[in-house]
Amino acid sequence: MSDTMTTKELYGLYVRRFGDCERTPYQAEYYRKWLALLEECSSNEEAEERSKENGLYTGGAAAVAMDRVVAHKQAAEHMGWNDVAEYCEDIIQKIKADPYYTFSHSGLWADLQALKDRWLRTIEGFHRLFADFLEYDDSRTDPERAVSNIAADLKRLSKPSSDFATLAAMPSFRALIDCSDEYYKEFTDTILKAATGRLEAIPWSTKDFQNEIAELWDKRDSLSSECAHWYGQEVRPVSLRLSPETEDGKYELINLD
**Which 162-181 residues touch other proteins, going by CB under 8 A?**
175-180
Closest by Cα among 72, 60, 66 to 33:
60
Phi, psi of 253 (to 5 degrees): -105, 130
- In whole angstroms, how close is the CB of 109 to other proteins at the nearest point? 11
Q: How many Å apart are CA 98 and CA 90, to the nearest integer?
A: 12
Among 40, 52, 170, 198, binds other proteins (CB under 8 A): 52
Q: Are 27 and 61 in contact (CB under 8 A)?
A: no
* Cβ neighbours for 141, distance < 8 A, ≥ 6 positions apart: 201
Residues 80-99 that bind other proteins (CB under 8 A): none
Q: Give the nearest distance from C-beta 148 to other proteins in angstroms.
A: 21
> Per CB under 8 A, does 238 bind other proteins?
yes
**Which helix (H) or strand (E) covers residue 48, if one does?**
helix 44-54
Cα 126 from Cα 176, distance rounded (Å): 8
Distance CA 191, CA 114 (A): 27
The smaller minimum CB distance to other proteins, of residues 196 and 233, is found at: 233
Least distance from C-beta 129 to other proteins, angstroms? 11
Which residue, 21 or 152, has its beta carbon nearer to other proteins?
21
Binders of other proteins in range 109-128 (CB under 8 A): 116, 119-120, 123-124, 127
The binding track of 178-207 with respect to other proteins, each residue x by CB under 8 A or -, is xxx-xx--x-----------------xx--
| 137 touching other proteins, by CB under 8 A | yes
